[in-house]
Amino acid sequence: MEDFNPKTLQETIQFFTEFENCRLFMTALRWPDGKVRCPRCSSYKVRYLDNARVYWCAEGHKTPKFSLKVGTVFEDSPIALEKWLPAVWMLVNNKNGISSWELHRALGVTQKSAWFMLHRIRAAIKTGGFKFGGPEGGEVEVDETFVGGKTINMHKKRRAEMQRKHMEMRGSDSEQVHRYVNKTAVQGMLDRELRQVRAKVVPNVRRDTLQNEVLNHVRFGSRLYTDNAVSYELLNSDYVHEVVSHADEYVRGRVHTNGLENFWSLLKRTLRGTYVAVEPFHLDRYLDEQTFRFNNRATKDNPLNDSDRFVYALSQIVGKRLTYKELTGKEEEAPF
């Protein structure tokens, strides 16, 4: 990947216009030793068929041909790598993301294809897999926010249904409930030392729901900072729990959730500016996207540039799949 160092989107598009550059880039990424292996049987006995732009495995099994997309989140897509690679660049490097309509115009794919492409990339760059904090009091901020929610244009029946559901969600019929009608609850955690965030949609903001997430994602012995005493009070035996009260003080030494507040405001800017009508069903993927950009932002200690972020994102696409069925919950094949 030594030759690959575009600084801008324009240079990226230019670079990947040459299929040979796509091929060299993808092979270097997937096989750092430079030896292409069959993704089906791991054999090195493969030949590149220049005209067809595929490899051919000599081991004699079924479907001996494979493209560079096989075994990645791009598999089975009719969209060429020349378009996929700039799409990844745009999604991970545009501060506010990119909508399927923008990608459709930028790359000349249909809006539906662009929509599916972006969701596949989001699935690939999803982070997680290890717990935050540490037994020696590693500091973790935990906070919730509500996303979405314009009821004005909504059909009456649907609005009533949403109201009913959200009352159920809050478990009461208070004034507060009506503020959150048609909004989706999101819980976030931030590991201060790693400077990493995780965020996901939660079905409600009841105590057991929020506490279970903490138990699943934060190591015992960590120091938890929340602004909500009641929702987390039962965790005191497993964690050191400190609460900031927004009523009388914003920051008490290290006890605050300002890191997450910052993340929430970036998230909401993206959702307002770029993704105007996100269905709650898909919100988790937008959270994964925002989380990726946040966790891979340039900092003083870690001066990542756009090119680094792009290469890192691409390194995440190998071995991941997202089918149309998984994405939409529908049985049929992708119509595009």
The contact set with Zn ion (CB under 5 A) reads 38, 40-41, 43, 57, 59
* Tokens 């729990």 belong to residue: 241
Question: Residue 68 CB, nearest distance to Zn ion (Å)?
Answer: 15
Question: Residue 55 CB, nearest distance to Zn ion (Å)?
Answer: 9
* Tokens 């159920």 belong to residue: 168
Of 141, 129, 130, the closest CA to residue 223 belongs to 141
Question: Residue 27 CB, nearest distance to Zn ion (Å)?
Answer: 16
Closer of 41 and 49 to Zn ion (Cβ): 41
Contact 145, 188 (CB under 8 A): yes
Question: Residue 34 CB, nearest distance to Zn ion (Å)?
Answer: 18
Strand 240-243 versus strand 65-66 pairing type: unpaired
Tell me which DSSP letter residue 204 carries. Answer: -
Closer of 42 and 299 to Zn ion (Cβ): 42
Read off the tokens for 289. Answer: 């996207």
Closer of 46 and 205 to Zn ion (Cβ): 46
Q: What gap in Å lies between CA 116 and CA 77, rounded to an integer?
A: 10
Of 298, 326, 288, 310, the closest CA to residue 125 belongs to 288
Contact 22, 82 (CB under 8 A): yes
Question: Residue 26 CB, nearest distance to Zn ion (Å)?
Answer: 18
Closer of 71 and 97 to Zn ion (Cβ): 71
The amino acid at 176? Q
Closer of 59 and 76 to Zn ion (Cβ): 59
